[in-house]
Amino acid sequence: MPTDIYSKTSASRGPGSPTVVGFHEPDTGSCQYICIDDATGKCALIDVVQQFDPKSFGTRFDHAQWALDYIADHGLTLEWILDTHPHADHFIAAAWLKDKTGVQTAIGEKVRDIAVLWRDYYNLPDGFPIDPHFDHLFAEGDTFQIGDLEVSVMLSPGHTLGSITYVVGDAVFAHDTLMQPDAGSSRADFPGGSASELYDSIMRILDRPDDHRIFVGHDYGTKTRDLPSWESTVGEQKTQNIHLGGDVSKADFVALREGRDATLALPNRMLAALQVNLRDGRMPDPEADGHSYLKMPVNKF
């Protein structure tokens, strides 16, 4: 097992409740998940990372392979490769996982709108995939199965205009909308983002029973804890979240979020990642020398 992988299991609470294996990618603070139906042994992968070195532009799949090894070692059957949005701070591993397993990939349908937005940033109006390569594009209210578990899809704009949340029984995969209560919320200043919409999305997520588990998309640690953390409850978020706890108003949240976002630099992988993630994790088509090349806008941000 790669030495940089820290994982932890959240056990099923009974029928209709998944077991969730979370594992952390330290370079980007990304939280990745295996969502398991114990009754059938079927599972899904959620937001698994393709590692990328922004200095050498080299890629690796150590974490994706770890997830496949875990599935094989525990006698599980992979049914879905899921992403919540086209991430700006890491490359997704969906295409590699599909090539290895043949399993279907999925993301939210508004990924098309994000692609339209970004093709202009890259000056690729005719060469950027407006119909991304994912097998399924989910809409608000869609449902599907992981084994016997029903999954419902919520549109959760704010961090991006097309972010979705997967709700599996008492488990809510809230991606880059919420962070851990001691870290607050995720930024909303990327193209298509909105702090106002982020607040509304968070309120929808928190309009669930207090004991429902929330699994977030990133954890960067805090000054008061050493190990990464990615699981909380609706009740903990409502009462303890440093950006929201204690009935913070929408106006106060938006002011706080926009003020904080104004101080943040772009993620160092962002301009590379969007070109890859809007293609389900595939690099641009190789050129005559057999290598793929990324296009970087200069002085646009």
Is the residue at 299 inside a domain? Answer: no
State the amino acid at position 79 in one-letter form: E
pLDDT reported for residue 128: 74
pLDDT at residue 126 greater than cutoff 80: no
Percent share of the chain, pLDDT over 90: 82
Is the residue at 146 inside a domain? Answer: yes
Is the residue at 284 inside a domain? Answer: no
pLDDT reported for residue 2: 67
Tell me the β-bridge partners of 33.
Answer: 22, 46
Is the residue at 252 inside a domain? Answer: yes
Domain tally, the chain: 1
3-class secondary-structure state, position 258: helix
pLDDT digits (tens, 9 = 90+) for 173-200: 999 999 999 999 999 999 999 999 999 9
- Per the model's pLDDT, the better-predicted residue between 280 and 48 turns out to be 48
The answer to which of 123-127, 243-247, 297-301 has the lowest mean pLDDT is: 123-127
Percent share of the chain, pLDDT over 70: 99
pLDDT digits (tens, 9 = 90+) for 103-114: 999 999 999 999
* Distance separating alpha carbons of residues 240 and 72, to the nearest angstrom: 38
Is the residue at 101 inside a domain? Answer: yes
pLDDT at residue 37 greater than cutoff 80: yes
* Distance separating alpha carbons of residues 208 and 86, to the nearest angstrom: 26
pLDDT reported for residue 91: 94
Q: Which residue range(s) make up the domain with 258?
A: 6-263
pLDDT reported for residue 300: 85
Confidence tier at 1 by pLDDT (50, 70, 90): low
State the amino acid at position 36 in one-letter form: I
pLDDT digits (tens, 9 = 90+) for 226-255: 899 999 999 999 999 999 988 899 999 999
Question: 3-state DSSP: the chain helix, strand, coil percent, rounded to 5?
Answer: 25, 25, 50
Tell me what the pLDDT averaged over the chain comes to: 94
What's the mean pLDDT in 39-44? Answer: 98
Q: What is the CATH number of the domain that holds 240?
A: 3.60.15.10
pLDDT reported for residue 5: 93
* Distance separating alpha carbons of residues 197 and 250, to the nearest angstrom: 10
Whether 138 and 152 have beta carbons less than 8 Å apart is answered as: no
Is the residue at 269 inside a domain? Answer: no
Whether 153 and 142 have beta carbons less than 8 Å apart is answered as: yes
* Distance separating alpha carbons of residues 63 and 1, to the nearest angstrom: 9
pLDDT reported for residue 252: 96
pLDDT reported for residue 15: 95
pLDDT reported for residue 284: 87
Is the residue at 270 inside a domain? Answer: no
